[in-house]
Amino acid sequence: MNDLALKWYKILNFPEEFDSEFESNINRDINLCDEKERNLIDMLCRCEALKEEYTKHGIPEDILMDTLSDIVCWSKTCKKLTGKLGLIETFWISKHMDFKLFKLGRLQFTFGQAKINCSKHNLYEGDNILEIHIQEGGPLTPESCIDSIKKAEDFFHRYFPEYDYKCFTCHSWLLNEELKLFLKPDSNILKFQKLYDIVDREESDNAILYIFRWGITKEEVLNYECSNNLQKAIQNHVINGGKLYIATGIVEKNTY
């Protein structure tokens, strides 16, 4: 088990600064590691079986590596939050390991079922969809996102032809149209919104986890030492009693 975890740790190219801590974890009794440390070791070991699944379906290895890069991203988040190298977001990473999530260019895609009714798009609760998710890191340009959506249409047609889906949906704080109050008109976030028909929204503080830091509470935002204009604008918005939202956007097949 330890050899397998170390193999994939190296394959996924974790930052060198984590090397000594990771080697220390895998060289001791697994029962002496805490849960987040065990989570990382377990997910790394599962990479081997996932690679076999990709090979069986004929999916290129570069897509596997791009998809698994999320393990490194979430390990960095765990390190920032807890001071230890591990994983605290196992529910999300399990989607990768269960062959349900794929990173295709800038965006990630998962199998899903619609949670809203939208007659405009002939979409009803329970219909098959492809969910769009945004991995941390890298500019979110409209060109890169359109390219990802095109890749996804080809990918799922080629490797999962039996999966009949109605459309793409994205459920994200990035689609909150009120962000135009805080961002410059040429912002990539506002350009990202224009790729979708935004059809629904709900109140949520989810945005603060991404704008400030993962794990932060709304109360902590009030006294947060802001490092950019967006953080300062959202902080003032929260202080003045403003609400935050998550919105749902739809992209029809063959739109781009």
Q: What is the pLDDT of residues 171-224, one digit of tens each?
A: 999 999 999 988 889 999 999 999 999 999 999 988 898 889 888 888 899 999
Three-state SS for 103? Answer: strand
What is the DSSP-derived secondary structure letter of residue 118? Answer: B
Beta strands in 33-154 (DSSP E): 101-104, 107-113, 128-134
Q: Write the CB contacts of 87 (distance below 8 Å, at least 6 apart in sequence).
A: 36, 39, 40, 43, 71, 74, 75, 78, 93
* Average pLDDT score, the chain: 94
Say how many C-beta atoms besides its own lie within 10 A of residue 58's C-beta: 8
What's the mean pLDDT in 74-96?
A: 94
CA atoms 91, 77, 238, 244: torsion sign: negative
Q: What pLDDT shows up at residue 186?
A: 92
Q: What pLDDT shows up at residue 28?
A: 87
Reported as a pLDDT band with limits 50, 70 and 90, residue 25 is: very high
Reported as a pLDDT band with limits 50, 70 and 90, residue 103 is: very high
Q: What pLDDT shows up at residue 230?
A: 87
- Give start-end residues of each CATH 3.40.630.120 domain in the chain: 100-202+248-256
The per-residue DSSP string of 188-248 comes to HHHHHHTTSEEEEEEE--THHHHHT-TT--HHHHTT----SHHHHHHHHHHHTT---EEEE
Instruction: Say whether pLDDT at 9 is over 90.
Output: yes
Q: What pLDDT shows up at residue 15?
A: 97
Could you tell me if 68 and 87 are in contact, meaning their C-beta atoms sit under 8 angstroms apart? no
Six-digit token pair at 161?
């032809």
Q: What pLDDT shows up at residue 47?
A: 98
Q: Among candidates 70, 64, 217, 57, which has minimal Cα distance to 138? A: 70
Name the percent of the chain lying above pLDDT 90. Answer: 82
What letter represents residue 48's amino acid?
E
Token look-up 């739809």 returns: 250
Beta bridge partners of 113: 128
Instruction: Say whether pLDDT at 61 is over 90.
Output: yes
What letter represents residue 163's amino acid?
Y
Name the percent of the chain lying above pLDDT 70. Answer: 100
What's the mean pLDDT in 48-77?
A: 97
Please give the helix or strand (H or E) that residue 252 lies within, else none: strand 245-252
Measure the CA–CA gap between 34 and 227, rounded to whole angstroms.
33
Burial class (CB in 10 A: 0-12, 13-18, 19+), 93: buried
Instruction: Say whether pLDDT at 1 is over 90.
Output: no
pTM of the model: 0.93
Q: What pLDDT shows up at residue 210?
A: 87
Measure the CA–CA gap between 174 and 192, rounded to whole angstroms.
8
Could you tell me if 108 and 102 are in contact, meaning their C-beta atoms sit under 8 angstroms apart? yes
| Bigger pLDDT: 213 vs 65 | 65
The domain 100-202+248-256: what is its CATH number?
3.40.630.120
Three-state SS for 186? Answer: coil
Reported as a pLDDT band with limits 50, 70 and 90, residue 90 is: very high
Instruction: Say whether pLDDT at 137 is over 90.
Output: no
